[in-house]
Amino acid sequence: MSDIAHEGLIYRAFLLALSAMVSLHNPTIRLIGMDDPPRCPLPALLGPAKQAACFSICDERLEVDSTTALRYFSPPALGANLREGLEQFLDLPLEDRTFQYARRLDNVFTACLDSENSEELLKAEVVTWRGIMTKIMLGDTLDLNASYYNGVLYLEENPGPVRFDADSRCTFVGYTHLFERLHPFALTGEHRHKFESICTVAAGGERCDGDVDMHTLWNTAIIRTLGSLKILLVGEVDCVQPGYAENPSPENYVELKTKKQKKVHNIAHKKWTMQSCLLGTQVIVLGLLDGNDVVQELVVYPVEPKTIHQCIFDWGARVIHALRDHCMRSGSQENGNLKVWRVMLRKRHIDICELDATQVNKLNHGGVPRNGIIPVSFIRGLERRADAA
């Protein structure tokens, strides 16, 4: 094992230990285990994916129903060096070379209110990021925060050893040096985004000359069913096929990935397939790299949902049903305040604990006004609609 890989394992163990140190004042209970009898109808079939809305993020500006940030797939020339421009990239300020994922659902809430297709978005019974649903189904370890409002379950990732700043982006507190040291070029978002930049063009055909833009991305909002539940999944789309202009649907999405040639044993990657399947993406383009990060080959392979065992979809449905049932039975609010539950995903079980007022205030400190994990502006927007109806 290389030194950097060893340090990476130590770092991940450190984060897990730090997360475990967080004290939960209320009792933690076992919500569901894989060996428990199902409490929802099975099999939970995954219905067809429909693009209900989209939004662009450009320099931290949100544009609902916009394709400003959308890129089109254009095969790159073989021999492209993903390390080209590395020195200039490392000279950039940290905020310009760190891809910051918006873990909170604020952009999704805005899209639900402002999209032309708002009415359909608001019919969802579960709202979350595609990445969270991927981890639920694959049994990954993750801590979530949940609130239940007006018949809808909202799920977002708990920040753990990082905090949310005012614009709802993930910001490290005190671990910047450790983060930089353990995430060299080959492990940062720059490596992946460099490949994306040479594989895509703007709507007018312009390339970006390989420059990496860490602040521009395009998200899709997918409505589909999982068993009896209607879910809204939101996730980033790397690029689309040319046919998207006439047919803006998931069948034209393209996922871009890279992998070292020497590590290619089985091209189909379970997590990649799951991620793509949930958004309805049908094609993954894989760039195979040599030891110097030079693109040697492009492999295009279809996403095959049939390769995903039905038990994985069933487990996802069981978890979501159990969460909704628990929130409804426990009461979603108290004295006008929406409750927040800490949901602890583990390999073969899910634990849950209701946060107290102090913990909720700490979670939401420094951001927009919230009730539970939901922005007050979203709740007021729904109330105004109800009054006008």
87-112 pLDDT per residue, tens: 776 777 766 666 555 679 999 999 99
- Number of Cβ within 10 Å of residue 176's Cβ equals 12
Q: Look at residue 4 in the predicted model and tell me its pLDDT.
A: 43
DSSP 139: T
Q: Left, alpha or beta for 329 (phi > 0: left; psi -120 to 50: alpha)?
A: alpha
Q: Look at residue 279 in the predicted model and tell me its pLDDT.
A: 99
Q: Evaluate the CA torsion angle 210, 214, 218, 221 in order and state its sign.
A: positive
Q: Look at residue 266 in the predicted model and tell me its pLDDT.
A: 62
Phi, psi of 79 (to 5 degrees): 95, 0
Q: Look at residue 161 in the predicted model and tell me its pLDDT.
A: 54
> How far from chain centre, in Å, is Cα 379?
23
State the Cα–Cα distance between residues 160 and 342, nearest whole angstrom.
Answer: 11
Mean pLDDT in order along the chain per 10 residues (389 residues): 47 49 76 97 98 93 96 93 77 65 88 98 98 97 98 92 41 33 42 84 76 82 99 98 96 94 70 96 94 92 93 98 97 95 96 97 94 98 93
State the Cα–Cα distance between residues 262 and 271, nearest whole angstrom.
Answer: 20
State the Cα–Cα distance between residues 142 and 160, nearest whole angstrom.
Answer: 10
State the Cα–Cα distance between residues 380 and 389, nearest whole angstrom.
Answer: 14
Phi, psi of 35 (to 5 degrees): -85, -5
For residue 229, give the 3-state DSSP assignment: strand
> Which contiguous run of DSSP H or E holds residue 298?
strand 295-302
